A and B are shown apart, each in its own frame.
Chain A
Amino acid sequence: MNNVIIIGSGPAGLTAAITCAQKGLEVSVIDEYMKPGGRLLGQLYEQPDGSWWNGINESKKLFQQAVNLGVQFYLETPVFNIEKKDSLWVVYTDKETFQTTNLLLATGAAEAPVPIPGWTLPGVMSIGAAQIMTNVHRVKPGNRGLIIGINVLSSAIAMELKLAGVDIACLALPKNNQITHESAHPKKVLDSLLHVAHMAPSTFVKLGSKLMKNNFMKELGVTFYPRNGVKMWDIPIQLKKAVIEIYGEQEVEGVTIASISSKGEVIEGSEENIAVDFVCIAGGLYPLAELAALTGCPFHYIEELGGYVPLHNEQMMTPVEGLFVAGNITGIEGAKVAAAQGKIAGLSIAKRSGKHQLDEDLKDAVQQGADTRKNAYIQFHPEVDSGRRRIQEEWEEYLVNNTVQFF
C-alpha cells in the first residue's frame, strides 16, 4: 500500500497533498473544518509590492489543484486519536477509521488565551474568531470592538476588521498578572512590535524602528510614548494603557482601561470606561501538536517557534517511523513558509514510499523553504531562524543516542 494520510488542509497540508499526488501516491486529506484552507482562509492583506494576498483565493487554487490530481478530501471530520499498529498508522475519526503507511500532521496553530476579569461574557472572542467571522463568514463580530494584546496578528487583523467597516476603539495591553507578564510589559511589546513597523504607515513607528535599535532608545521610546497612543491604519495603538476589566450585565457593554507605567504597573485613578459591543483577545499563537504528543514523539520547548514542538529534521521527518510534520505544528510562521514545508514533507514521504531520484528535489525544496523564510513579509518571532537551528541541533543530539529509521 503506497498511501499517505494528511491531517490538516491548511497551506502545509494542501501543498504536501499536491506534491505527493504528483509523485503518484494515493493521498487522503482529513480536516475538521467545513472548508479546505485552514488559517489561510482568513488572510487578507496588501503585500509590499502592492498586490493583495487573498487567502480565500489561494485556498481555492490549492484545493482545486489537489482535487484535479485525485486527492480524496474528508472535511468536517475531526481526528480524535492516532495510533501505530504494527507498521500501520490507525487514524480515528467520529465517521471512519483510516489506515496508512505514512502520516503527515499539518494541524497548524492554536491561539493562546489571556484571562481578563469578565472574559467569560458573551461578546468576548479570540482575535482569530473575529477574523474568521469577518473574512470567511462575512458576519460582523459587532459594531465597535476593542482588541486586548498588541502583536503581529492583532495588528494585521485590526486592519482587516477596519476594511470590513468594523470600528476598533483601540488595541491595548492586558493588565499585568502571573499569566500575562511579557505581553503586559510595554517595552517587551514595543520590541516585538518594531518587527511589524514595515507594515505601518505611521511615521512614528517607521522612525521608531530605525531609532530604537538599542535598549536605551527603547526605554526612551516607551517613556515618551504619547499618552493618546500611536495610530496604525487610523486605529490607536495604546502601549501605555491596559484593560483591567471587561464589563456588562448579560454581554459585553464595555471595558475599563487604565494608564500603566513603562513597567506595566497600573496608575491608580487613571481608570476610564470605553463602550464597545465586542472584545477580541490576542494572546499569540502556539503549535497545535496534540496528535503528535499521542505518538510518543519527543518534544522541545522553543520559545522562538511558539512553544512545544515535535522533534523533526529539515526533511520534516520525526523520529517516529512514518510520522511527518509540516507547517505551524513545527513553529509559528506565515502561510508561505507553511506551504514550502508542505512541499518538503511531500517529497520526503514520496521518497520513503520508494520513489527514486528525489534527492535533488528535496535539497532544492529545503533551500526554497529557507529562502521563503528569509523573504517572509510576516514574521511571528524575530528570532525564528535561531529557533529553527535549535530544533535541528536537538535532532542531531537525539541521533547520537537513538536510531532513527531513515527511508
Chain B
Amino acid sequence: MRESEMIICRCEEVTYQELLDTAITYSCSARELKLRTRAGMGYCGGRTCRSIVDQVAKQVGSEQSKKNISLKYQAPIRPVNFVDLGGEGK
C-alpha cells in the first residue's frame, strides 16, 4: 500500500493524500480541514484521527492556535444510544 492511500479517518474513510491536498489547496485551519474532508466527523467523534488532522493543519495548512483547542469538542464525547440521549432508556 502506498502512503498516499493510507486511511487517516476510519469512520469517514479519508486518506492521507486527501488531507494533504485539501490543507495545501485551501491553506486550512484544523477546523476547516475537518469540515472540508469530514475527517473526525464520523461515529467515533474523531477519537483516533483528531491529533493527525491537527498536525496536518499545523504542518502544511494555516493552523497556529496555542491558546485555544484548535478542534472544538462537542457533547456527546462518547457514543450514546438515542434512547439514553432522549431519556427513554431509564
Given known pairs A115-B8, A178-B59, A294-B73, the reply for A301 and B1 (CB within 8 Å) is no
Expressed in whole angstroms, the Cα–Cα distance for A79 and B67 within the complex equals 26
Distance from A144 Cβ to chain B, minimum over Cβ atoms (Å): 22
Query: Is A399 in contact with chain B by the CB < 8 A criterion?
Result: no
Q: Which residues of A contact B10 (CB under 8 A)?
A: 120
- Specify which of B6, B47, B65, B80 is in contact with A80 (CB 8 Å cutoff): B80
Query: Is A175 in contact with chain B by the CB < 8 A criterion?
Result: yes
Distance from B55 Cβ to chain A, minimum over Cβ atoms (Å): 5
Q: Which residues on A are within 8 Å of B, measured CB to CB?
A: 32, 78-81, 83, 92, 94, 96, 110, 112-113, 115-120, 175, 177-179, 181, 245, 247, 286, 290-291, 293-294, 298-301, 307-308
What are 12 A-B residue pairs whose CB atoms fall within 8 Å in the complex? A80-B75, A83-B75, A94-B89, A110-B47, A113-B51, A120-B10, A177-B3, A178-B55, A179-B59, A247-B1, A294-B74, A299-B68
Interface centre among A79, A110, A116, A308 (most CB of B within 10 A): A308
Cross-chain contact B2 with A117 (CB below 8 angstroms): yes
Expressed in whole angstroms, the Cα–Cα distance for A96 and B89 within the complex equals 10
- Specify which of A178, A286, A308 is in contact with B56 (CB 8 Å cutoff): A178
Query: Is B41 in contact with chain A by the CB < 8 A criterion?
Result: no
Expressed in whole angstroms, the Cα–Cα distance for A47 and B48 within the complex equals 33
9 closest A-B pairs (Cβ-Cβ)?
A: A81-B75, A80-B76, A293-B73, A94-B84, A80-B78, A117-B1, A78-B78, A301-B66, A178-B59
Cross-chain contact A300 with B76 (CB below 8 angstroms): no
Q: Which residues of A contact B75 (CB under 8 A)?
A: 80-81, 83, 92, 294
Whose C-beta in chain B lies nearest to the C-beta of A178? B59
Whose C-beta in chain B lies nearest to the C-beta of A112? B51
Interface centre among B51, B68, B89 (most CB of A within 10 A): B51
Q: Which residues of A contact B25 (CB under 8 A)?
A: none
List B28-67 residues whose CB lies under 8 Å from chain A.
Answer: 47-49, 51-52, 55-56, 59-60, 65-67
Distance from B2 Cβ to chain A, minimum over Cβ atoms (Å): 7
Expressed in whole angstroms, the Cα–Cα distance for A92 and B84 within the complex equals 10
Cross-chain contact A293 with B51 (CB below 8 angstroms): no
Cross-chain contact A94 with B81 (CB below 8 angstroms): yes
Expressed in whole angstroms, the Cα–Cα distance for A204 and B74 within the complex equals 48
Q: Which residues of B contact A179 (CB under 8 A)?
A: 16, 52, 55-56, 59
Cross-chain contact B67 with A300 (CB below 8 angstroms): yes
Expressed in whole angstroms, the Cα–Cα distance for A96 and B73 within the complex equals 22
Q: Which residues of A contact B72 (CB under 8 A)?
A: 293
Cross-chain contact B80 with A94 (CB below 8 angstroms): yes
Q: Which residues of B contact A177 (CB under 8 A)?
A: 3, 16
Cross-chain contact A293 with B59 (CB below 8 angstroms): no
Distance from A2 Cβ to chain B, minimum over Cβ atoms (Å): 27
Cross-chain contact A293 with B69 (CB below 8 angstroms): yes
Known: A80-B76, A94-B89, A178-B59. 12 other contacts (CB 8 A): A81-B76, A94-B80, A113-B51, A117-B2, A117-B3, A178-B20, A179-B52, A286-B51, A290-B77, A291-B77, A300-B67, A301-B67
- Specify which of B52, B74, B77 is in contact with A113 (CB 8 Å cutoff): B52
Q: Which residues of B contact A301 (CB under 8 A)?
A: 65-67
Q: Which residues of B contact A298 (CB under 8 A)?
A: 67-68
- Specify which of B52, B76, B78, B89 is in contact with A115 (CB 8 Å cutoff): B52
Q: Which residues of B contact A120 (CB under 8 A)?
A: 7, 10
Whose C-beta in chain B lies nearest to the C-beta of A96? B90
Distance from B33 Cβ to chain A, minimum over Cβ atoms (Å): 12
Expressed in whole angstroms, the Cα–Cα distance for A113 and B51 within the complex equals 7
Q: Which residues of B contact A78 (CB under 8 A)?
A: 78
